[in-house]
Structure 1
Amino acid sequence: MSQTSETVLEIDLSALEHNYNYLRSKLSPETKMLGVVKAFAYGNDSVEIAKRLSKIGIDYFAVAYTREGISLREGGIQKPILVLHPQSTNFEEVIENDLIPNIYSKFTLEAFVKTAEKLQLKNYPIHLKINTGLNRLGFDPEDAAWLNHKLAETKAIKVEGIFSHLAASEDEAEREFTLYQIENYQKTLDKILPKLDDQPIRHLCNTSGIINYPEAHYDMVRTGIGLYGFGNSAAEDKKLKPVGTLKTIISQIHHIKEGESVGYNRVFKAPLATKTATLPLGHADGINRIYGKQKTGVLVNGQIAPIIGNVCMDMLMIDISGIDCQEGDEVILFGKDKSAEEFAHNAGTISYELITSISQRVKRKIIN
Structure 2
Amino acid sequence: MSKVSETTLEIDLRALEHNFRYLKSKLGAETKLLAVVKAFAYGSDMVSVSKKLEGLGVDYFAVAYVKEGVLLRDAGIRTPILVLHPQAVNFDTLIERFLEPSLYSPRILKEFLKVAEAKNQKKYPVHIKFNTGLNRLGFWENDVDWILKHLNGTNAIKIKSIFSHLAASEDENEKDFSLKQIKSFKKSSSELAEKIGYQPIRHMLNTSGILNYTEAQFEMVRSGIGLYGYANDAQIDSELKPVASLKSIISQIHKIEPNESVGYNRAYKSDGYRVIATLPLGHADGIGRHYGGGNTMVLLNGKLVPIIGNVCMDMIMIDVTGADCKEGDEVIIFGGNHSAEDFANSAQTISYEILTAISQRVTRKIKE
Q: TM-score, normalised by structure 1?
A: 0.99
1:150 alignment partner AA: H
RMSD: 0.7
Spell out the pairing of 1:67-78 with structure 2 (5 A cutoff): 67-78=67-78
Work out the CA distance in 1 between the residues paired with 2:197 and 2:146. 17
Q: What is the SS of the residue equivalent to 1:312? A: coil
Shift of 1:219: 0.2
Deviations 1:287-321 (A, max 9, x none): 11010001201000000110000000000000001
2:238 alignment partner AA: K
Work out the CA distance in 2 between the residues paired with 1:120 and 1:230. 43
Work out the CA distance in 2 between the residues paired with 1:157 and 1:259. 69
Shift of 1:337: 2.4
Could you tell me which runs of 5 or more consecutive residues in structure 1 were left unpaired when the two chains were aligned. Answer: none
Which residue in 2 is equivalent to 1:353? 353
Which residue in 1 is equivalent to 2:211? 211
Work out the CA distance in 1 between the residues paired with 2:350 and 2:146. 39
Which residue in 1 is equivalent to 2:268? 268
Q: What is the SS of the residue equivalent to 1:271? A: coil
Which residue in 1 is equivalent to 2:173? 173
Shift of 1:246: 0.2
1:315 alignment partner AA: M
Divergent runs of 4+, >2 A: none
Shift of 1:78: 0.3
Which residue in 2 is equivalent to 1:314? 314
Which residue in 2 is equivalent to 1:121? 121
Deviations 1:255-296 (A, max 9, x none): 010000000000100011110100000000001101000120
Q: TM-score, normalised by structure 2?
A: 0.99
Work out the CA distance in 1 between the residues paired with 2:244 and 2:159. 36
1:137 alignment partner AA: L
Confirm whether residue 335 of structure 1 aligns to residue 325 of structure 2: no
Q: What is the SS of the residue equivalent to 1:9? A: strand
Work out the CA distance in 2 between the residues paired with 1:291 and 1:98. 41
2:74 alignment partner AA: E
1:19 alignment partner AA: N
2:350 alignment partner AA: I
Spell out the pairing of 1:239-318 with structure 2 (5 A cutoff): 239-318=239-318
Deviations 1:62-89 (A, max 9, x none): 0000000000000110000000000001
Work out the CA distance in 1 between the residues paired with 2:295 and 2:128. 42
Which residue in 1 is equivalent to 2:362? 362
Q: What is the SS of the residue equivalent to 1:281? A: coil
Work out the CA distance in 1 between the residues paired with 2:217 and 2:158. 23
Work out the CA distance in 1 between the residues paired with 2:173 and 2:263. 43
**How many residues align structurally?**
368
Work out the CA distance in 2 between the residues paired with 1:59 and 1:362. 30
Work out the CA distance in 1 between the residues paired with 2:122 and 2:197. 14
Spell out the pairing of 1:144-223 with structure 2 (5 A cutoff): 144-223=144-223
Could you tell me which runs of 5 or more consecutive residues in structure 2 were left unpaired when the two chains were aligned. Answer: none
Shift of 1:2: 2.2
Work out the CA distance in 2 between the residues paired with 1:64 and 1:336. 28
Work out the CA distance in 2 between the residues paired with 1:108 and 1:18. 38
Deviations 1:121-175 (A, max 9, x none): 1100000000000000000111111112111131100000000000000000000
Work out the CA distance in 2 between the residues paired with 1:296 and 1:250. 17
Moved more, 339-348 or 191-200: 191-200
Deviations 1:68-119 (A, max 9, x none): 0000000110000000000001011100000000000000010000000001
2:111 alignment partner AA: A
Q: What is the SS of the residue equivalent to 1:85? A: coil
